[in-house]
Chains A and B, each alone.
Chain A
Amino acid sequence: MAERDKRCKIRITNLRKNFGELEVLKGISTEVTEGEVVVIIGPSGSGKSTFLRCINRLETFEGGQIVVDGVDIADHRTDINQLRERVGMVFQHFNLFANMNVLRNLTLAPVDLKKTTVSEAQDRALQMLRKVGLEDKILSYPAQLSGGQKQRVAIARALCMNPDIMLFDEPTSALDPEMVGEVLQVMKQLAADGMTMMIVTHEIGFAREVADRVLFMDDGRIVEEGTPEEIFTRPKEPRTIDFLNKVL
């Protein structure tokens, strides 16, 4: 792998998680290098969202290790808030702060965490809104935006913290079909800019186009991984073939 000499951003070793009796992650290991775009696909209930949410510790886990930028995230000495500042996350249901306008949504965390001054944060907010094509919505409230606009604002909000890793948890699953394109467009641009990204999605076409690597998960395990070409055109595992037959 030519990627090997690039810097490893996320190393996941034998990750295990239970919800009570139910084992949802049964030993996941993989590595994500700097600038890599990894797309995770799989049937619902396969644990892909849970897996993603473990990476910024929105979910705790029982076994294994996740190392982000050389920092063990489960170590009690790790300041999880500091780590989260560098790992942006975009959610299926946008989760824009309903009590604030777009500008406040974008500047809240940078200003509150004293990363920047108010005016610097506002400059950056405007810059990020331009990037997602929504600078005219700067004073709107989330309730006044369409789903696609909300998700683009959510992406801009995450980018305002200047993260070097972005996690996307089914970012287009709650959108009307005609709004999916505008969000994927923003994500494509982000990938082209060299952002390290992990994306859980059902958008196979998008995965094929943007992913450096695709992970197919089922029943808490990575069943198969490889380039989009390998996974979508020449899948080896029967479970992968079966899944792709159903969704393609």
Chain B
Amino acid sequence: MRTRGFNKIKIVGLLIVFSVTGVYCQSGMVKITAGTYTPLYVDDTTDQSVDVDAFLIDKYPVTNEQFLEFVKTNPKWKRSEISLLFADNSYLAHWKSDFELGESVNPNAPVINISWFAAKAFAKYKGKRLPTVAEWELAAMADESEKNGYGNPNYIAKILKWYSKPTPVFLPAIGSNKPNYYGVYDLHGLVWEWTADFFNALVTGESRGDGGINRNLFCGSGSIGATDFKNYPAFMRFAFRSSLKANYTTSNLGFRCAKDL
């Protein structure tokens, strides 16, 4: 009797565990509550901050394995047939072939060498979309314990340390960093990530007000109009985004998806 009772409890317990993880597995997403994000560059004529509605974001960046599954079911996105308009020559260059990762690629590492078009197509296939810059930045503001970690100099220093290191030859698997306040992993410390409106890195949300902003600010003039001179990581993300075109692929740029609530 006793043993059977225990077994029952065990089974019920297992069921609960399965159903809970099942919910997470299915969506793999977490909710980011509504908030405001202050862009690095703003125009005098617009408000300084952007209101962001609550949304869902992937817990992890998209992996090689997940992207391979996408390419297999959507073969027009395979490497050998992609048009240069949609992805440049290094598209999925780290894979062994169109449908094989090869031994040197960790299936659980974030997928890289992905163009914006390819990332967008993957998101659509999954019934999701790419996060906007404002959404991504809002989620990435959080450190391990707070929604806004930018007040914590250690947080900025930690991100800066990662930005200052060259890309490793073999990327580690997703989830090896600690999750942030919302339970999102790897927003910092693994790969750069595409955003839906990457090209409008300067856009404040009110596109009519953005006419006066010059994207090509270099050297000392790079600080003209910046809202936070000390947020070097933000400058670096801005610089990275503005160096891209939608068909570009690089060996440290991946993505994750978002979804409306």
Check if A and B associate. Answer: no
Q: What residues make up the interface of A, taking CB atoms closer than 8 Å to B? A: none
